[in-house]
Amino acid sequence: MKILVTIFIGIFINVSVHASEISETEATEGDAKDELVVNSEIENLKNEILELNSELFVLEEDLLFSANTQISVFVSVDVDSLFELDSIQLKLDDKVVSNYLYTAREASSLKRGGIQRLYLGNLTSGEHELTAFFVGKGPSNRDYKRAVTKIIEKSESAKFIELKIVGNVSKEQPDFIVKVWE
Amino acid sequence: MNSQNSNKLYHYAGLILLSIASMTVCAEDRNLHKVEDLAYGVSIYHFNQGKYFSSITDLLVAEKNKKISNDKQNPQLLLGGLYLSYGMYSRSSDVFEKLLENDAFNVSKEVKDRAWYLSGKNFYENGMLDEAKNSLIKVKDSLKANNEEERLYWLNTIFLRKKDVVSAVDILYKMQDTSIWRYYSVFNTATYLIKAGTYAAYARQLLLDLSSIVVTNDEEKLLVDKANLALAYVSLKNEKQAEAVQHFLKIRTGGDVTSEALLGLGWAQYRNEDYDNSITSWMHLIAGQNKSDLVVQEALISIPYAYEKKKDNDQALFQYGHAIKGYKTQINETQKLVDFINSDEFIAQVSPANTGDEAPPIYDGIQNLNPLMYRYLSKLISSEKFQFSVQAYQQAKYLRYKLSRWQDSMPALKMMLNEKRSTYKNKLVKTLDDDSLDQVEGLIKRKNKFLEKVESIENDELFYELVTDEEREYIKILAAVETGLKSGLTDDVELDELKFKYRLLNGLLKWRVETDYPNRLWKVKKQANRLDEAVDGLQNRLVSLKKTFKSAPKDFAQFDARIENKESEIIQLKSRVAAEIIKQENHLRQTALNALEGHRNQIRLYHDRALYAKARLYDAMMVKE
């Protein structure tokens, strides 16, 4: 009968999630070095791929969007309950350049301080008209659509535009702002 | 997947997510700091979605392009945390070390504390306990309350692993009474002491305290159940059956440790010679819990033992037969599972549905697993280690996907470069030869001349340089009149009148030109400025064109150099990733098979024991007859 009780004790030990972590680690201490070697191999591989990925990323950008013609449009959200973003349509000189529909995960990421690069393209020097249409749910969960337009001056250097959705507490409405980064 | 398994899975999933989220708290709380660089914000955008690969790339690219200039500390902190979450412990350690030891970062106390804290966890993950302890100890007082509790939890864990019981216990007194991290630490310390066979009374008291906390959520309820289970085990070990029963009865029915509680309760009652109740407890266990659970299997063979004690041999024989039949079924079923694990289907089920999805929800794949996996390997599936293995496997597959994408893009990049080169040859050279460039040069000269003239008008107050066409006409007329007056063609009376009118008109004109001069000068200067800007723009474009003209061949050569060898590098990396994927597939298979083998061996053992006991009972009955 003692054998059965021992089995029971074994089961009890396995039940303790965090505590078992300690005993498991003790049991596998001998294998730890091998595991570290394997981990280091994987880490090297990941590191090399990350390096290559970033190099190719920069190369592609340099090749396709050289600095003197490059324009990037970003989206940020700093509003809690006043606006739930569903989609954005972006127009440059009355031509639709981006239509983006947000997943719940992406919308939530924006709300938690993330900034999305919505559009990367080329633009000639001079004046251009940028228009963004924001679609989502406004206060009281009502359908909400707003547009914002701005004339931008494209110079010889890369242009960075941020579309900001911010909460206006006094009006209890979201505000849509176009910020040009210098 | 049945709902019980599902709940259990999500419970553990919650724990894992909690630990990952807390690894990189820096980005989680948007109020903690303001995002001051777009590139950093983009990295956070990917990080928030669990896309660690993209998030790290964002920061590396930003570093290469010098796009992070306003905030040096937080992006580094995020990078260190990202490497940690992505299983790159050594890189993570390097980043934290650089951040903490480089004065150029001018690191604030808050950032330093978070960095030491993450660094400590980093070392712990790497199995470097001393380094982990040293880092965690360096944290001062600026961590958020929950992180501080977690830090103390890790220190307690490290001390226990290093068998430093006094320090481990000391940590308990630094933690907040109602913190969940303290509850875990208390439980870990108590079970450690029990297993080590030291400070038994103190360990028991810790468990008693834990078993009587006021619970507010499922996590705490589970801990209380576990504390009671441990207390019951200690009582059982000390031959205090009645006390053990009391602890077992405090455990919730329908909780995560109900099976173990019912099994233990049965044993406590059995040892108390309360065979009827022990049979009832085990029967209850068999009826209500997962049939494949080893705890249930143990109950199956325990019931006939109790009947034997009751001298009810017929019922004991029947129950042995029932158990043997059950074990055979289990052995057959687990064989099917072994075949499944060895098949390609197993790997397909742990693979992401969409290889291009960088952060597939790990539980989607696990939810769709073969039901046999849940029946026999639910503990393995819900374990942190197995889920990290699945995640690592999915990450490796994403790396292969990413490399394939780049491999496919290489011809397009080369084509783009060739296109640029031919544009340069055909258009740029033509443009630079064009007359329009000479015209620009002429315009610049004219503009400069105009500006010089405006300057001299202003300096010398040349009012008449700014007269209108109409005024110029008047001036001409007045000049003609003046000449006429000087020639004296008319009589004196008429001459005097004409002279008076001439002086009047001349004076009026002068007054108008002089009083309006500032206004006119301002307008002319405004025009001059506009002209200056326009011509400057033209000049800049000309300079840019000339620069492009000069630098283009060099740029093309640089692009060539950057593209060169990339293809072979991609192929070489792809083959290493492929080998890694196979290694991980084998690892996943082996882990599952090892876990199952333990289960199968246990069932085989029960089976053999039941066969033996049945034979023994038959023999005994034969002897009696």
A45 with B53: Cβ contact below 8 A? no
- Average pLDDT, stretch B367-390? 83
Contact A114 B86 (CB under 8 A): no
Position B19 scores a pLDDT of 36
| Nearest chain B alpha carbon to A35 | B126
Predicted local distance difference test score (pLDDT) of residue B4: 39
* pLDDT tens-place string over residues B547-563: 777 777 778 888 888 88
What is the pLDDT at residue A118? 97
CA distance B122 to chain A (A): 13
**Who among B35, B53, B576 is closest to A45 (CB)?**
B576
- Residues in B closer than 8 angstroms to A156, CB to CB, are 540-541, 544
The DSSP annotation for B545-588 comes to HHHHHHHHHHHHHHHHHHHTTHHHHHHHHHHHHHHHHHHHHHHH
Mutate to test the interface with B, among A22, A41, A55, A125 (most CBs of B within 10 A): A22
Q: How many CB pairs under 8 A join A and B?
A: 187
Q: Is the pLDDT of residue B208 over 90?
A: yes
| Alpha carbons B481 and B477: distance in angstroms, whole number | 6
Mutate to test the interface with A, among B37, B191, B420, B428 (most CBs of A within 10 A): B191
The backbone torsions φ and ψ at residue A78, rounded to the nearest 5 degrees and listed phi first, read: -130, 65
Contact between chains at A17 and B569 (C-beta distance less than 8 A): no
Q: What pLDDT is stored for residue B432 in this prediction?
A: 61
Whether B27 has a pLDDT exceeding 80, the answer reads no
Chain B residues with CB inside 8 Å of A120's CB?
A: none
Contact B267 A4 (CB under 8 A): yes
All residues of chain B having their beta carbon less than 8 Å from the beta carbon of residue A25 are 161
Judged by CB atoms closer than 8 Å, whether chains meet at B42 and A117 is answered as: yes
Q: Which residues pair with A128 in a beta bridge?
A: A152
> Residue B227 and residue B221: Cα distance in Å, rounded?
10
A23 contacts B195? CB cut-off 8 A: yes
CA B471 to centroid of chain Cα atoms? 76
Residue B1 has pLDDT above 50, yes or no: no
Average pLDDT, chain A: 81
**B302 burial level (CB within 10 Å; 0-12, 13-18, 19+):** buried
- Chosen from B48, B241, B594 to mutate, greatest number of chain A CBs within 10 A: B48
Residue B576 has pLDDT above 90, yes or no: yes
- Which residue in B has a C-alpha nearest to residue A113's C-alpha? B30
Give pLDDT, residue A182. 72
User: Residue A37 has what pLDDT?
Assistant: 54
Mean pLDDT of chain B, nearest integer:
85
- Closest-CA distance, A105 to chain B, in angstroms, reads 6
Residue scoring higher pLDDT (B160 or B532): B160
DSSP 8-state symbol, B468: -
Contact check, Cβ <8 Å, A55/B89: no
Nearest-Cα distance to chain B for A115, in Å, is 5
The partner residue sitting opposite A5, judged by closest CB among B44, B89, B267, is B267
C-beta atoms of A9 and B42 within 8 A = no
Residue B621: band (very low, low, confident or very high) from pLDDT cuts 50, 70, 90: confident
Inspect the interface and report whether the beta carbons of B41 and A11 lie closer than 8 Å.
no
Contact between residue A159 and residue A71 where contact means Cβ atoms under 8 Å apart: yes
Lowest mean pLDDT among A134-148, B12-26, B78-92, B606-620: B12-26
Residues B168-193 pLDDT 10s = 999 999 999 999 999 999 999 999 99
CA–CA distance, A125 with B538 (Å, rounded to integer): 11
What contacts B307, CB < 8 A, 6 or more positions away? Answer: B275, B279, B313, B315, B316, B319
- Residue B207 confidence class, pLDDT cut points 50, 70, 90: very high
Q: What is the pLDDT of residue A168?
A: 85
> Which residues make Cβ contacts (< 8 Å) with residue B8, sequence separation at least 6?
B256, B378, B382
Give the pLDDT mean for B342-352: 89
Q: What is the mean pLDDT of residues A127-132?
A: 95
For range A142-154, the mean pLDDT: 93
How many C-beta atoms surround the C-beta of residue B260 within 10 A?
A: 26
B412 Cα to chain A: minimum distance (Å):
10
User: CB A102: neighbour CB atoms within 10 A?
Assistant: 20
Position B465 confidence tier, pLDDT thresholds 50, 70, 90: confident
pLDDT of amino acid B436: 66
3-state class of A53 per DSSP? helix
Per-residue pLDDT reduced to its tens digit, B28-83: 444 445 667 899 999 999 999 999 999 999 999 999 888 887 777 888 889 998 99
Contacts of B150 in chain A (CB under 8 A): none
Among B32, B52, B57, the strongest candidate for a mutation testing the A interface, having the largest count of A CBs within 10 A, is B57
For residue range A13-22, list pLDDT tens digits in order. Answer: 333 333 333 3
Amino acid A13: pLDDT: 38
Query: Taking CB atoms and an 8 Å cutoff, what residues of chain A touch B570?
Result: 52
Model confidence band, residue B106 (pLDDT cutoffs 50, 70, 90): confident
Cβ–Cβ gap A108/B48 under 8 Å: yes
Q: Which two tokens stand for residue B143?
A: 């961590």
pLDDT above 60 for B408: yes
State the pLDDT at residue B25: 38
Candidate from A172-181, B123-132, B189-198 with smallest mean pLDDT: B123-132
**Residue from the list A54, A105, A162 with its beta carbon closest to the beta carbon of B61:** A54
Around Cβ B437, how many Cβ atoms within 10 Å? 14
Separation of alpha carbons B103 and B87, rounded Å: 27
Give the whole-number percent of chain B exceeding pLDDT 90: 44
pLDDT band (50, 70, 90) for residue A2: very low
Among the partner residues B35, B56, B576, nearest to A50 by beta-carbon distance: B56
Residue partners of B215: CB distance under 8 A and separation at least 6: B221, B224
- Nearest chain A residue to B230, by CA: A12
Contacts of A11 in chain B (CB under 8 A): 260, 263, 294-295, 298
pLDDT digits (tens, 9 = 90+) for B388-397: 888 889 999 9
Which residue in this structure is represented by tokens 């293995």?
Answer: B389
Task: Choose the closest CB to B60 out of A5, A54, A62.
Answer: A54
Q: Which residue has the higher pLDDT, B435 or B422?
A: B422
Task: Among A51-65, B32-46, B423-437, B470-484, name the one with the lowest average pLDDT.
Answer: B423-437
Global model pTM greater than 0.90: no
With a cut of 50, say whether residue B157 has pLDDT above it: yes
Name the amino acid, one letter, at B346.
F
d(CA A19, CA A79): 42
Question: Nearest C-alpha of chain A: how many angstroms from B500?
Answer: 57
Query: How many angstroms separate the CA of residue A144 from the nearest CA in chain B?
Result: 24
Asked if A174 and A165 touch (Cβ cutoff 8 Å), the reply is: yes
Q: Which residues of B touch A35 (CB under 8 A)?
A: 127
Q: Which of B48, B65, B295 sits opposite A114 (nearest CB)?
A: B48
Query: Which of B11, B58, B83, B88 best probes binding to A when mutated, by most A CB atoms within 10 angstroms?
Result: B88
Q: Which residues of A touch B413 (CB under 8 A)?
A: 59-60, 63
- By Cβ distance, the residue of A59, A113, A181 closest to B562 is A59
Q: B6, exposed or middle or buried, with CB in 10 Å at 0-12, 13-18, 19+?
A: middle
Residues A176 and A149 sit within 8 Å (Cβ to Cβ): no
Rounded to an integer, the average pLDDT of B355-369 is 74
* Percentage, residues of chain B above pLDDT 70: 90
Cα B142 to Cα B34, B98, B108, B138: the distances in Å are 18, 20, 10, 12
